[in-house]
Structure 1
Amino acid sequence: MTTRRHGRIMVWHDGACPLCQREIALMRRLDKNGAITFIDASAPDAPQTCPLDPAQMLERFHAEVDGEMLTGAAAFAAMWRVLPLLRPLGLAARNPLVLRWLEALYVRFLRVRPRIQRFMRERRW
């Protein structure tokens, strides 16, 4: 895998999802220090850029920090920690109870994500 300086994070996202596109656009704007490498797991070259099967990468949010692959709320929290505006939330997620609560919210979100995506596609957001 690519060697990076300490504190950098790789984030895989669904570039075909209108909801994800908006979220990643916001994260790019907040990433003033260029600490995040964003990788589209839905791109044609995804098999070469994903450490796991691209379909698996698209099921949940994935991030790699210092060689450790994180998913779900833990991946979001790691990304938030490198963004000055969201760093407090990312640091709070180091508490196991907070992370467990965020993961429960994320799992609930995953259940409604297809409906939100469909709504956004229909409205061309």
Structure 2
Amino acid sequence: MTKLTVWFDGGCPLCRREIALMRRLDRAGAIAFVDLGVAGHGDCPVDRADLLARFHAREDGRLVSGAAAFAAMWRAIPGLRPLGLAARNPLVLAGLERLYRAFLRLRPRLQRMAGRREGAPA
């Protein structure tokens, strides 16, 4: 199986939650997760600010971002693979990209909410 590399913002509480879930689902260890806050950005040819602004992954040597990066990650996880394969359809991927861009507008508010929840007493 080809290793997929995913770069994520470990300083973002929302991102940490998403990546924690993906790590649990990735039982085969098919994904190399790179925390930009700890490891820098490794061999990614994209500038750090761009990596933090938009989700990026490298699948089969090809750099993808946004919904395409999520779809690549889903394809690497058996339970999510059908969704990732469906995203190979250009119309499906375009729809997912529209949803991703809408999410990016909400992301700052969601990050604040997730941060407050992490800081809340148990």
1:55 aligns with 2:44: no
8 Å CA contact 2:7–2:41 kept in 1: the answer is no
Note the 1:32-51 alignment, pairs <5 A.
32-43=27-38, 45-51=39-45
Deviation sequence 1:58-110 (CA, Å, 0-9, x none): 11000001211000000100110010110010010011000000000000000
Distance 1:47 1:10, change over 3 A: closer
1:96 aligns with 2:90: yes
Matching residue's letter, 2:8: H
Deviation of 1:9 after TM superposition, in Å, equals 0.4
Note the 1:1-125 alignment, pairs <5 A.
6-43=1-38, 45-124=39-118
Q: Which residue of 2 aligns with 1:3?
A: none
Count of equivalent residues: 119
Structure 2: which 5+ residue stretches go unaligned? Answer: none
Deviation of 1:41 after TM superposition, in Å, equals 1.7
Moved over 6 A (4+): none
Calculate the TM-score normalised by the size of structure 1.
0.89
Q: Distance in 2 between matches of 1:63 and 1:102?
A: 16
Structure 1: which 5+ residue stretches go unaligned? Answer: 1-5
What percent identity do the matched residue pairs reach?
61
8 Å CA contact 1:41–1:50 kept in 2: the answer is no
Secondary structure at the aligned position of 2:5 is classed as strand
Calculate the TM-score normalised by the size of structure 2.
0.91
- RMSD of aligned C-alpha atoms? 1.4
